[in-house]
Structure 1
Amino acid sequence: MIREQRKLDHIRYALELGDGERKTGLEDIRFLHNCLTPVEPDRVDIRTRIGNLKLPVPVMIDAITGGADRVKEINRKLAAVAGRAGVSLAVGSQYGSVREGQHADTFAVIREENPDGIFFANVSALATPEEARAAVDMIRADALEIHLNVTQELIMPEGDKQFSLIRDNLSRLQDCTNVPIIIKETGCGMAAEQIQELQAMGFSCFNIAGLGGTSFAAIEAARGRNTRYEKFASWGIPTAWSLIDAAHVAKPWDTVIASGGIRNGWQAALAIALGADAVAMSGNVLTMLMQNGEEAAVAYLQDVIADLKDIMVLTGCRTVRELQRAHLVYTGETMDFIRSRGYAPLDRRIR
């Protein structure tokens, strides 16, 4: 019951708090317009990949919720929205369900609603290989997200603070399933140094989930009524900065997913131009669904995809790979970050 109430609290505070004043860093970056674009709208190709998994569009609904009876219908609606919009969907953490054997139906409902959908399972970095496989089997997942949420666990009174075990346990999970494994942050971003550690373990898919969107630190501070932790709502690496770091260490076979405050097609396009292979959104989709219904949520995602395609035309990019090489102009604190990390502003990865 405690875990179930926590899941409900997460939804409540995510809707109430929104993104706050946290910045993604994307506001410091602009495209250069191509007035001689050779790309026609009907020739834009937005197919992409996550590991060896092919996606028709580089947009997904990221982990939101599950594990409580009263959110079963939310997951059903999210699956319906994903199917109609043509995007993939990641479920919220299944860790409690695979560990305690409860509420599996609140996750399995997505496959009932959208039998042919592309779905990602989700477990803690402290899950066992058996629990990770159970999470994949529960929804017949096409990929598995393993989430890192140190900030949330630190602030959460009932949080699991065995942080010294994470690296060793991740090594145990590296080959636990035959679907792509994505190492996912939960709103605090990934730095190049930790991405390199994960690469050394054998991981090649990363959801950097930077600062700028839903803050679980803010949610846990509000849920626990602990004002001391409110300042940690702004803790983390902004999404754009984390993408820049990732771009400088990514290998040709790696996959990078951008999430954390991406709210429209313009930001999605910028994230891809910074090196992301796909972008993920959660809090904004949940808000649209809960406040305006399924039709509005589908239309919202369709607009994101349409704007992304239009920007590809306006920058002369026919494919996602070409957009990853688009010319960008950096300003403000993001330029300061680039310089402080010793990067040349025009450094581009070629994959």
Structure 2
Amino acid sequence: MVLEVNQAIVNESLQTEQVMEQLSSTVDVIVDNIEKYTNAARYGKGNNYALNNLRTAVQNQFPLVDWLLSTSLSQMIENAWQNGSLPTVTDEDGNVYLKAPLNVFTTPPKDTKGECCWLPFDIAACGGKAPINILCLKDCVDMLNHLLDRKLKVQSNDLIGFFKQAGQTYEEVRDFMNRESMAFYTANTIVNGQLDVTTPILKKFHGLMEILKRPEVFKMQGTNILAAFDSIGYRMDVLGGSFIFAAHPLTVASIKNAIRPNRYGILPDGWTINGESIFYKGAQVLPDKTVPVDVENGTGVIWQLSGESVGVFLGTTLRPAEDYIIRNQFTTTNDVNKGCATECDIYYNLGSVVTNNVARLAVITDVPLAAGINAYSLANLLDRVYVETLAP
């Protein structure tokens, strides 16, 4: 009996020791979590998240889109939109199309051989149409955090910088990020949007790419950069008017590499350089990261564009105006801890890219990148080449 009692005491002692060890471990975890979630260190030295900088520049500048929105065709469309006279047509399936401003010309002369007098020319016009697509961004948060975000403010030791400013409410921080995100997605979609292609950053949209891939747009190989521009230059001489060329910055760097001055300091015919900008026959070569490039295969593309024949329609600006934002859309849930509801803000835009004269557009393909531009030399930097986020 004594042995049994002693054994029971020993067993109870061992169990107590195990329980105490488990309790000690649990307390350590709790302390660690307290330090982690209260921003307190073991010796009372708090973290200061304000000591930060961006890994790369914020990708919120869109030179090509800015140019597209400023063209004479875009201004005509914008004026019609603002005064309520935008020309649209709806097909039998309910799809709405924007009718591009007409391209006016005169017909060929009538044959008057054997007659005393000529006959006057007739006026004719043609114009294209393009589908109008909706673009939107939705930001949702549960009711608990919605109420907190309206009141709580960013502190001076928070992750302040471009995306957060001390003193802002977290609701204001969310709104700023939403607008910048909407601008990024919209700009990329204006340039590269297609009706049959979607990606993480592109939605269905009649963008510039949809126009440039049309078979009637003039295309030529650019394996010899100078010869390709010479050929395009002759088209410019015949067409007249103003143009620009758009290309990825790596393609522009390759063009610069090909137009070096000769021993007498003279650039190839037609080329001028003004600071960092280059021009061919007065047309600027505009660098923009939204224009495609293929580093793996060492090629780029160059787009010749005319502001007289290509334009963009947008319902509002890249960062939507307040009347294009639907706020406080509530959906009920069964999550008691999160307030039994979710609140969403939806940012909208609508638009299309149109042309009324494809003869004034051209694409130079397979432009060789400079020898030093390749996947090896740009290792770990391709997210800066193929930009798919605001701050890669």
Using structure 1 for the length normalisation, give the TM-score: 0.21
Higher share in helix: 1
Using structure 2 for the length normalisation, give the TM-score: 0.20
Higher share in strand: 2
Larger radius of gyration: 2
